[in-house]
Chain A
Amino acid sequence: MQLDLASPRATPAPIRSNNKFKPSVFFHYLSLIVLSVIAIAPIFIMFLTSLKSQVLILSRKPVWFFMPTLSNYEYIIESQNFGRIVWNSVAVGLGTTILTLVAGGMAAYALARMKFPGRGIMAQTTLLIRMVPPAVLAVPIFGLWLGWGIEDGRIGLVVFYAALNLPFAVWLLIGFIQQIPVELEGAAIVDGAGPFQTFFLIIFPLMRSGFAVASIFVFRIAWNEFILALILTNRLTRTLPVAITLFLTEQGVEWGRAMAMGSAIVIPPLLITFLAARQIIAGMTAGAVKG
């Protein structure tokens, strides 16, 4: 499948809507709607719960209609250094995205367009590295970071997230570079441009849509990641997913506040999904489906 985002595969004309009732079409839609409810309901319940008081949350009978309260949000904003936590998440997310895309874009260009000894091995190693489990990294990272005496966990997170994301980014970007006509670079070289000028001035701008797709994935993974962030960050540098654990105590879960924090984590990726669903799907399928 090609990664042409501008023109999705032309689909056959939709089933013609005439006034005759067709049971097969009806059941088709019915099943799709039921599945949509299953997909959305848990997320919806999180938002709903974040607007409830603890009494309503703990009632045995689920309450669907109630007077919403913002007290959970007020609490997390006022008493949990919320601004700093959000800033940590944004900084780590943006840092990871920029580092991954620049390094990944350059590597993808070399792998897609240049011939050099070790090219095949390099490409395969990139793929292989995808399998490293974060739990395996957590142990040595904890030791190393202590040993290096670096207090600010955010720098560590950016490096480790970039490393974990690079294989996927490189892989995705290779596909985009392969679609850029090679003649463009030929012309630039004839005009006397060096390889770096060619890449940063000609190719880099043409990879915009590739970067857009890759950044959605990279940012989201950095934004959502929990285990490494839990180990590396401290009271001042913790990110949103780590902050949720503040509400999971031995005495029980402070559901309302945890759900409010959960909503804060979930809303940005959901918004991006509504804006760029097609690009996300293209990025997801690029790995497995190739023409």
Chain B
Amino acid sequence: MLKTLSDPRKYTAYIFLLPAIAILVIGLLVPLWNSFYLSFFDWDIGTPWESKEFIGLESYSRMIVDDDVYESVWVTLKYSFWLMLLEMIAGIALAFLLEKSIRGAAVFRTIFILPLMVSPVAVGLIWRYLFDARSGIINYYLEYIGEAIPFLQNVGFERQLWLASPDLALTSVIITDVWQWTPFILIIILAGLQALPSEIIEAARIDGANTLQTIFFIKLPMISTIILVTFLMRLIDVFRALEVIYILTFGGPGLSTQVLSLHIYKTAFTSQQLGYASTISMLLIAIMLILSVGVLFYQDPLRERTA
């Protein structure tokens, strides 16, 4: 039931909304509109706003045949596919591990959310050092283990050019993201599990279901909506992010880690083509809109939370 005050002066609601709307208009809608507007223009960095040249749909037809754009979309898909797969599996598995009530669960939970608190810039810096080919500890211990057990050298336990070879660079940025964001999945799934009514789990046990059966046939189906929403929310964030990759590889080597959002940034501020960057922005916005409608479908912010 919605509790609503019957205030005769209906306009008060709009006055309460006014500051938020003003901020959203100045901070988001005006820039977004300008981005859309700019996508029909040719404008180089450093030249005045008035000097931009109207070129209609030229940027769009250029984008359609731009291999670099396709490449960065492909990189974004590979990147998001692997990290979503790894983070969802690890996050859900860990949630079941932490669900069991044990002494010190709160301490472990606090430790596990620490990576989420680290600034993306610092995350990029830390992992750039860990992956460093010469003095990074990852290479040192890979070599160390490889020398101790020579057989393992066949499966990669030797010094690797983590950030300098195209395949490994993508692997490196995926590992970094999995380190930082798996806890996010873990925390939300854990909350979902803890909100499950214990009677149903109890009933399943009495009916003779073992732990695995309870997990796969009772608990996972019951939190499937939460899993889906978490998945979509995380995917939206993955498509938005570029800061860690900016510090870690700056999209290189070549275009091997250039996700779409970083490609937009570099088109604007490295290649200095603000108009064309806006055109590619429209592609990213279109992708994000599709994902967001998915989230909206499952979430109503006005739904009353039941105690």
Contact = CB atoms under 8 A, between A and B. Distances in A.
A131 interface: yes
B187 A136 contact: no
Nearest to A183: B3
Contacts of A38: 179
Given A3-B305, A14-B102, A262-B121, A114 B24 contact: no
Q: Is the interface of A mostly helix, strand, loop or mixed?
A: helix
A126 interface: yes
A179 B4 CA distance: 13
Contacts of B6: 115
Interface residues of A, number: 123
A124 B293 CA distance: 10
B281 A285 contact: no
Interface stretch (A26-34, A66-74, A80-88): A26-34
B169 to A, nearest CB: 16
A201 to B, nearest CB: 15
Interface of B: 2-7, 9-10, 12-14, 16-17, 19-24, 26-28, 30-35, 38, 43, 45, 49, 94, 97-98, 100-103, 105-106, 108-115, 117-123, 125-130, 134-135, 137, 140, 179, 183-184, 187-188, 191-192, 194-195, 226, 229-230, 233, 236, 239-240, 242-243, 246-247, 261-262, 264-265, 268-269, 274, 277-278, 281, 284-285, 288-289, 291-293, 295-296, 299-307
Contact of B28 (A60, A129, A270, A287): A129
If over half of B's interface residues share one DSSP class (helix, strand or loop), that class is named, otherwise mixed; here it is: helix
28 contacts: A35-B112, A49-B129, A114-B16, A115-B2, A115-B4, A116-B13, A119-B302, A123-B300, A123-B302, A132-B32, A133-B285, A135-B264, A135-B284, A136-B32, A137-B32, A139-B281, A142-B268, A170-B301, A171-B301, A178-B3, A182-B3, A196-B12, A241-B119, A253-B125, A270-B117, A278-B106, A284-B188, A287-B188
Contacts of A133: 239-240, 261, 264, 281, 284-285, 288
Contacts of B239: 133
Contacts of B12: 110, 114, 195-196
Interface string A132-148: 11111111111110110
Contacts, number: 351
B112 to A, nearest CB: 6
Contacts of A287: 188, 233
Contacts of A111: 17, 301-302
Contacts of A142: 45, 268-269, 274
A280 interface: yes
A231 interface: yes
A106 B121 CA distance: 33
Given A107-B20, A112-B302, A259 B5 contact: no
Contacts of B192: 285, 288-289
A76 interface: no
B53 to A, nearest CB: 14
A143 B274 contact: yes
Interface in A120-167: 120, 122-124, 126-144, 146-147, 159-160, 162-164, 166
Contacts of B121: 224, 226, 241, 244, 262, 265
Nearest to B28: A163
A262 B114 contact: no
B16 A110 contact: yes
A90 B284 CA distance: 32
A43 B123 CA distance: 8
Interface of A: 1-4, 9, 11-15, 17, 25, 28-29, 31-32, 35-36, 38-40, 42-43, 45-46, 49, 57-62, 99, 102-104, 106-107, 109-116, 119-120, 122-124, 126-144, 146-147, 159-160, 162-164, 166, 170-171, 174-175, 178-179, 182, 185-186, 189, 195-196, 199, 220, 223-224, 226-227, 231, 241, 244, 248, 253, 255, 258-259, 262, 265-266, 269-270, 272-274, 277-278, 280-281, 284-285, 287-291
A110 B117 CA distance: 31
A11 B126 contact: no
A130 B129 CA distance: 32
Contacts of A32: 97-98, 108
A170 B20 contact: yes
B108 to A, nearest CB: 5
B66 to A, nearest CB: 17
Contacts of A35: 94, 108, 112
Contacts of B103: 14-15, 17
B125 A259 contact: yes
